Amino acid sequence: MSTSANDVLPLRNEHDIVLARQQVRRLSQELGFSLVDQTKMVTAASELARNAVIYGKGGVLRSETLTDGVRRGLRLHFIDEGPGIPDLTRAMTDGWTSGKGLGLGLSGARRLVNDFDIETAVGRGTRVTVTRWK
Amino acid sequence: MDRIPILRMGEFLLVTIQVDMHDQLALTLQDDLTAAIQRLGAKGVLIDISALEMVDSFIGRMIANLSRMSRILDAHTVVVGMRPAVAITLVELGLSLAGVETALDVERGMRRLRASVGESGASIVDLGE
């Protein structure tokens, strides 16, 4: 499998969340994703970018386009150096929120992608990686 | 500051969301719309989201809140024009927009609002003027 790295986008404020959505839209269009798949990936990116901004106190989005034989995909890394998530199981549960949200960010984003991976360490930060294949 | 325009059509208000909203813009709309309902005694609100290419949990919650707030202020809200890809994504995300009344397009939405108050709206007035 080969990957090609794209730009790194800062996630500092709510305007960056809009920019993240636009970047993911453009990349999924370039990969020829269907409209529904584009919408799912953009929505997942919006949830995860907001998490990085609000809970992670800011971070970055790194995007990669993947080629695996004839398959092509888009992988997004949301990386922050915030407080981390003390109870990951609870954070992945629908409806649980530590803030003012609906608690659908992580669990909802996971349902919108093919692969979902999260690493977190208290006091060091959180990295969420999602992949969607065409 | 950016604002989403609210148009008056007789006793109804029309909101067309045409931009990719950042979070503060969505919150400002809640304030502006509830203020306009109260000031004008509006009986119905039509929210057109046909230009929205995605609705995440934040924007979805904003739409559901607008609908609830309007109801408490005695105005009926209909959300129109949701794209099919957005509807599919919202349901998979886990957001069903329970309690939000929807219609396929503006015309059907207006018909619904008129039926709910028993009469029709008149000329369009831009409240931004």
Full DSSP string of B54-98: ---HHHHHHHHHHHHHHHHTT-EEEEE---HHHHHHHHHHT---T
How far is the CA of A75 from the CAs of A4, A107, A114, B55, B86, in angstroms? 10, 18, 10, 21, 21
> pLDDT band at B23, cuts 50/70/90?
confident
Q: Does the beta-carbon distance from B53 to A46 stay under 8 Å?
A: no
Q: What is the pLDDT of residue B38?
A: 96
Nearest CB partner across the interface for B92, out of A42, A105, A111: A111
Q: Per the CB < 8 Å rule, is B56 touching A35?
A: no
Least trusted range by pLDDT, from A84-88, B13-17, B38-42: A84-88
Contact criterion met (CB below 8 Å) for A63 and A74: yes
A18, A47, A112 member nearest B20 (Cβ): A18
Of A17, A39, A101, the CB nearest to B85: A39
Probe site for chain A from B19, B57, B63, B82 (most A CB atoms < 10 A):
B57
Per-residue pLDDT reduced to its tens digit, A53-98: 999 999 999 999 999 998 999 999 999 999 999 888 888 887 777 6
Pick the CATH number of B6-121 from 3.30.750.24, 3.10.180.10, 3.40.50.300, 2.60.120.560: 3.30.750.24
ipTM: 0.88
SS3 state of residue A119: strand
CB pairs under 8 A between A and B: 71
The per-residue pLDDT for A97 is 72
The whole-model pTM stands at 0.89
Per the model's pLDDT, the better-predicted residue between B19 and A2 turns out to be B19
Q: How far apart are the first and last CA of chain A?
A: 15
Domain ranges for chain B, please list them. Answer: 6-121
Chain B within 8 Å of A38 (Cβ-Cβ)? Answer: yes
Residues of B within an 8 Å Cβ radius of A: 20-24, 53-58, 60-61, 83-86, 88-89, 92-95
Judged against a pLDDT cut of 60, whether residue B122 lies above it is answered with no
Q: What is the CA radius of gyration of chain A?
A: 14
pLDDT at B22: 85
Residue B120, pLDDT score: 46
Question: What is the DSSP code (8-state) at residue B27?
Answer: H
Q: What is the pLDDT of residue A100?
A: 61
- Minimum-distance CB partner of B22 among A18, A35, A107: A18
In the predicted model, is pLDDT for residue A12 greater than 50? Answer: yes
In A, minimum Cα distance to B84 occurs at A36
Per-residue pLDDT at B74? 94
Q: Is A8 helix (H, G, I), strand (E, B) or coil?
A: strand
Question: Distance between CA A12 and CA B49 in Å, rounded?
Answer: 27
Interface test with A, best of B19, B28, B54 (most A CBs within 10 A): B54
Q: How far apart are CA B100 and CA B121, in angstroms?
A: 22
Q: What is the pLDDT of residues A28-62, one digit of tens each?
A: 999 999 999 999 999 999 999 999 999 999 999 99
Asked if A111's CB is within 8 angstroms of B85's CB, the reply is no
CB contact under 8 A, B85 and A107: no
Backbone angles phi, psi at B20, to 5 degrees: -75, 100
* A17 contacts on B by Cβ (under 8 Å): 22-23
What domains, with CATH codes, occur in chain A?
Answer: 2-133 (3.30.565.10)
Structure tokens at B35: 């203020």
Nearest residue of chain B to residue A95 (CA atoms): B94
Q: Give me the pLDDT at residue B1, please.
A: 57
